Copies of this chain bind each other. A is one copy, B any other.
Amino acid sequence: MASEIHRASTTAPVNIAVIKYWGKRDPKLNLPTNSSLSVTLSQSDLRTHTTASCSPTYTHDELILNGSSQDVSGARTQACFRELRTLRKQLETTNPSLPALSSMPLKIVSENNFPTAAGLASSAAGFAALVRSIANLYELPASPTELSRIARQGSGSACRSLFGGYVGWEQGSQPDGSDSLAFEVAPASHWPTMRAVILVVSAAKKGVSSTTGMQTTVATSSLFPVRANDTVPRRMAEMQTAIQERDFESFAKLTMMDSNSFHATCLDTWPPIFYLNDVSRAAIKAVEAINHAAGKIVAAYTFDAGPNAVVYFEEENEGIVAGALRKLVGEKEGWKGEAKSDDAVVEKVVKEAGVVQELLREGVSRVICTGVGEGPVKTDEHLV
């Protein structure tokens, strides 16, 4: 018994918001100033794989990410550990025959299948996997919604990575955050043809962290309240309708407008915060040229707190959207399939967007081709 090691593993996905989370009304509990909505991306391309283990032989809580030991003393990680142990403790109290896992130290080992250097927000997948794997280890009967309350305390947007497909995060109104939860807008199977190309842009320097940035925006931007209180609630409703109806044009326009609105409030922050650079703007011009050449909206850009462009499109338009982007960006690591170049629409885009081609070729370091995907998946491949 002294050498017993309990373990459970999961993988968890990255999500990219189409209605952005920016601003906390409670920084300790990660309670947001507005609801948000994201698309969960396929774990074939981007995932965190995490094994949670506990043992009476362990001496202290430990978290190893991509081979290096992480600080677990932070309030966010501690909140997740504490909440999950409390739930396990309740089970153990109800059923004393269960092993007392809640009192054993935890060892969490986590690995991403994508380069950290890509500058992709990995904390969402990371905290979702951490919470989901410990919940599995503790055999908690908690639903993804209940776990989202816990994962949110680790990293706000992590709550959305507990679901696949199209996921909302209701801001809630309770001071304790009990109603600030993720929910499924639609499963991936409802609209499985959603694809995404991520243009990874090399930034000269890491920008302002989102945690610091969003609180400065809340404190100083005179335009921010109208975004949080009026614009986002309206667009949340419109976006859910667009997803229910698989209306790509509405989905795309809302996605682009919300990204612009979010970055506008960053620029209106004092001192101003800039995440978009000339390469990001070139990606916007490229998407505008694609939509113009196609004669309708077939592609949507969105940018998180960094210069990387995420371009959503439907599978049926992969030839023109990914085809045109590939032609503009050039051959980089990450493209899938054969390059197409004979399409008339693609030729039209390159003609119209030729002015931004050099910026994209020089500024995009790699691409990731992916699509909508499932939520966390339990696995028997253990890292401990």
Contacts and interface: CB of A to CB of B under 8 A. Distances in A.
A222 B227 CA distance: 8
Given A223-B231, A226-B225, A355-B204, A270 B260 contact: yes
Given A226-B223, A265-B264, A278-B278, A257 B270 contact: yes
B267 A263 contact: yes
Interface residues of A, number: 30
A274 interface: yes
Contacts of A223: 223, 226-227, 231, 261, 264-265, 268
A42 to B, nearest CB: 29
Copies in the complex: 2
Is the contact region of chain A dominated by helix, strand, or loop, or is it mixed? helix
A268 B264 CA distance: 6
Interface in A243-291: 253, 256-257, 260-261, 263-265, 267-272, 274, 277-278, 281, 284, 288
A231 B205 CA distance: 32
A196 to B, nearest CB: 20
Contact of A260 (B204, B272, B277): B272
A156 to B, nearest CB: 22
Nearest to A225: B226
A281 B267 CA distance: 11
A230 interface: yes
Contact of A355 (B205, B253, B271): B205
Interface string A287-304: 010000000000000000
Contacts of A231: 222-223
A299 to B, nearest CB: 13
Given A226-B226, A231-B223, A281 B274 contact: yes
A230 B230 CA distance: 15
Nearest to A266: B264
Contact of A268 (B205, B225, B260, B270): B260
A216 to B, nearest CB: 13
A288 B253 CA distance: 35
A205 B270 CA distance: 29
10 contacts: A204-B355, A222-B226, A222-B231, A223-B227, A223-B231, A253-B270, A257-B268, A263-B267, A267-B267, A272-B284
Given A260-B268, A264-B268, 14 more contacts: A205-B355, A222-B230, A223-B227, A223-B231, A223-B265, A223-B268, A225-B226, A256-B270, A257-B270, A260-B269, A260-B272, A264-B264, A271-B288, A274-B284
